[in-house]
Amino acid sequence: MKAVFITGGKQYYVAEGDEIFVEKIDVEEGKTIDFTEVLSVGTKTGTPYVTGAKVTCEVVKTGKQKKIIIFKYKAKKKYRRKQGHRQPYTKLIVKKIVG
């Protein structure tokens, strides 16, 4: 069974057993989390959510992605700015889809 759910302002299309990376969630590693904002399960679609549907996931780890470099430059004006950013993430494994 496949489902589409929302977390962190993004939609994820998953099946049972999938590993996904989502925006950081404040849950300890090894714990489970339920997502109830499910847009569709199998062939059912909600308006906007499917009632009684949920996606259960296990938190594998939290961390930061690779660093990206932001470099701003304007020619002939002696303007240079260098900045780095590492986006935090949470890695989840989809355990169960109910709906």
- pLDDT value of position 69: 98
Intra-chain end-to-end CA distance of the chain, in Å: 9
Q: 13-61 pLDDT, tens per residue?
A: 999 999 999 999 999 999 999 999 999 999 999 999 999 999 999 999 9
Q: Give the pair of three-digit tokens for residue 85.
A: 């950013």
Q: In terms of DSSP bridges, do strands 38-41 and 2-7 run parallel, antiparallel, or are they unpaired?
A: antiparallel
Q: Give the pair of three-digit tokens for residue 70.
A: 């932001």
Phi, psi of 71 (to 5 degrees): -125, 120
Q: 51-98 pLDDT, tens per residue?
A: 999 999 999 999 999 999 999 999 999 999 999 999 999 999 999 999
- Burial status of residue 3 (CB atoms within 10 A of its CB: 0-12, 13-18, 19 or more): buried
Domain ranges of the chain: 2-98
Q: Is 58 helix (H, G, I), strand (E, B) or coil?
A: strand
